[in-house]
Structure 1
Amino acid sequence: MWWKRTLSSSYRCYLGRRRSGAKIWRCLTRATCSAPALPAGRITALQALDVWKRHFVENGVTEPEQSSQYIIAHLLGAKTIESVEQQRLAALLSKEETQQVWRLCSKRLSRMPVQFIIEEWDFRDLTLKMRPPVFIPRPETEELVELVLTDLQKHPGSGVAPPTCLEVGCGSGAISLSLLKSLPQLEAFALERSQDAVDLSQENASRLGLQDRLKVYHMDVIKDAEKMPGLFSSISVLVSNPPYLFSEDMATLEPEITRFEDRAALDGGEDGLNVIRQILTLAPDVLSNRGRVYLEVDPRHPALIHRWVEDNVEELRFVETRQDVSGKPRFCILQKEESHKAPEVDED
């Protein structure tokens, strides 16, 4: 189940194939529904799929077929129902398997995202552990990783030292771990205000064998700002998918989000720029000369960020805005430049 940011004031969730396209969820806020009764006798996986698809439909759970397919495929040891042999689907489930299906599908009735129900999801070429309340990475963030990878591969650095990446707000570790997997020479650091997310990032790094190349700090980029220049310097890339929703839009969030994900990972303040401004203020202190900042933002933000940086951060240059796959301005790229401001003269 993919969750995806849209360009309207709402923050909708999308369900699609793992590693493929996405479809919109128009989720309904309603009371938790009761599960259908357990069958008296044994049933097949195909029959269980049909029972739960119909029950999801009856209770307003959108993408009912895919919801049941992902959950049952997971219980059968697969990622998609298409990868399960027909013979296995037509075979009778054991009593224990049927009880597992009912237990997990019942969670979906409460609007729990499939990622949290099956406790994992794919991000690019990685399979990451997922659990609430840690933010679920969206499809646009895969595009953000691609932007960073493309630039790092074109400009790998001086050759004297390996390139380094600093991620602000790492969540499950998706961005940093994906970059590390694709660039063996890269070293990464990550900041995260939530202890739950720190723990999950470290767990994912260990599962992928990348724990020696990723150091995760339990820090708040706003509250602990004064500590950052002492910890990080000459960073090649600063990347972030920060909280960027306008506070007024938080009331429009769907129950899948409000009930299970960390709201602080979404709310960017009145104009959605609270954390973004802090990142951009600190960037010159931690980046190497010509080091870059890559941000995922609301489509209303690029022009605001461009003007704000010109007025407030002399050593940063706004390079460009990139569009996401739907053609919306989604990513901002900035670069540190040497300051040309004349030094102040002490006249005493």
Structure 2
Amino acid sequence: ILVLVLSSQYIISHVLGEKILECVPRKRERERVWELCSKCLTRMPVQYVIEEWDFRDLTLKTKPPVVIPRPETEELVSLVLEDLGLMQEESHTTDLRSLEVGCGSGAISLSLLRSIPQLRVFALDQSQTAVCLTMENANRLGLQDRLDVHHLDVIKDADVILSKCKPVDFLVGNPPYLLSQDMDTLQTEILGFEDNSALDGLSVICLILALSSKLLTQRVYLELAPYHPPVIQQLIEEMRLGLLYLETRCDLTNRPRFCILQKKGEDEVI
């Protein structure tokens, strides 16, 4: 019930065209509110109901089944921006290139583009719907000129990705990280509406690490599950990819969430 009440508040704000409730809706607005609230009764996430959501300083279009940007991902962007800022102060580099694997709605790439004027981003996703949504958001925000989005699958199209994207200064992503056995425990709002293939799979992370070793000049930033950091450290050692595990950062709930890796043998910084 509480979720529905909160969702209804977002819906009313959306119909009124305001971010904050300031007035009581008129009759036609009340009818529109009821229409959208009816969708919430089907357990559709409010982000899909109102077809947009705020991410940092951006308002992004949302569409099922593309995964909805999470608060933790905002933390990932902040981490990357802070790290890059420190490295740029040391090197005075003017041009940067990055790759995002699994761009979804474009939240990560577009936030980075908005904050770093000298950045060019290559983004890819296995879902054509996600690719189109990222481009739609980029066009709405006026960031399309520095963004290349490709409909590519990291599992099937590794060679194509290498030819199109190499080299990049850093790779950033929020890849699938739930275990298959945990999928049945997800909320109906997630399991019934979001792309499950974008939520499940450690194999994708292994492929991202393998790609990173071939096209990276500097660092990898990944948002993962709290149980993943030691797994990633072990993979780095076993796969012998020429990557160094730098550190694990915690999210606001103090859970180990973000992994930072560096390419070995690179003394230069961005």
- TM bin, normalised by shorter chain, reads over 0.9
Partner of 2:37: 105
Within 5 A, what are the aligned runs for 1:232-311? 232-268=165-201, 273-288=202-217, 291-311=218-238
> Hey, what's the Cα distance between the residues in 1 that align with 2:4 and 2:209?
42
In our comparison, the structure showing a higher alpha carbon Rg is 1
Is contact 1:281–1:313 with CA below 8 Å preserved after alignment? no
Match of 1:327 among 241, 250, 254: 254
Give the residue type in structure 2 aligned to 1:292: R
Structure 1 residues 237-264: Cα deviation after superposition (integer angstroms, max 9, x where no partner): 1001001000000111111012211011
Give the residue type in structure 2 aligned to 1:137: P
Partner of 1:136: 68
Is contact 1:119–1:130 with CA below 8 Å preserved after alignment? yes
| 1:274 Cα offset (Å) | 0.9
> Hey, what's the Cα distance between the residues in 1 that align with 2:179 and 2:15?
38
> Hey, what's the Cα distance between the residues in 2 that align with 1:68 and 1:317?
47
Secondary structure in 1 aligned to 2:253?
Answer: coil
| 1:338 Cα offset (Å) | 2.5
Provide structure 2 residue ranges, at least 5 long, that are not aligned to the other structure: none
Partner of 1:346: none
Deviates more, 1:114-123 or 1:155-164: 155-164
> Hey, what's the Cα distance between the residues in 1 that align with 2:43 and 2:76?
28
| 1:155 Cα offset (Å) | 1.2
> Hey, what's the Cα distance between the residues in 1 that align with 2:18 and 2:227?
40
Report how many aligned residue pairs link the two structures. 265
Partner of 2:16: 76
Aligned-residue identity in percent = 57
Structure 1 residues 113-148: Cα deviation after superposition (integer angstroms, max 9, x where no partner): 111111110000000001111100100000110111
Match of 2:106 among 163, 173, 193: 173
RMSD: 1.5
> Hey, what's the Cα distance between the residues in 2 that align with 1:176 and 1:278?
20
Structure 1 residues 140-198: Cα deviation after superposition (integer angstroms, max 9, x where no partner): 00011011101111112855650111000000000000000011111111010000000
| 1:323 Cα offset (Å) | 0.5
Is contact 2:102–2:124 with CA below 8 Å preserved after alignment? yes
Is contact 1:228–1:286 with CA below 8 Å preserved after alignment? no
Provide structure 1 residue ranges, at least 5 long, that are not aligned to the other structure: 1-56, 340-348
> Hey, what's the Cα distance between the residues in 2 that align with 1:180 and 1:114?
27
Secondary structure in 2 aligned to 1:63?
Answer: helix
Give the residue type in structure 1 aligned to 2:239: N
Partner of 2:245: 318
Normalised to the residue count of structure 2, the TM-score between the two structures is 0.94
Is 1:63 the counterpart of 2:3? The answer is: yes
* Higher RCO, Cα 8 Å, sep 6+: 2
Within 5 A, what are the aligned runs for 1:109-128? 109-128=41-60
Match of 2:126 among 193, 202, 225: 193
Change (3 A) 1:293 1:203: same
Higher helix share: 2
> Hey, what's the Cα distance between the residues in 2 that align with 1:155 and 1:214?
22
Partner of 1:10: none
Is contact 2:94–2:118 with CA below 8 Å preserved after alignment? no
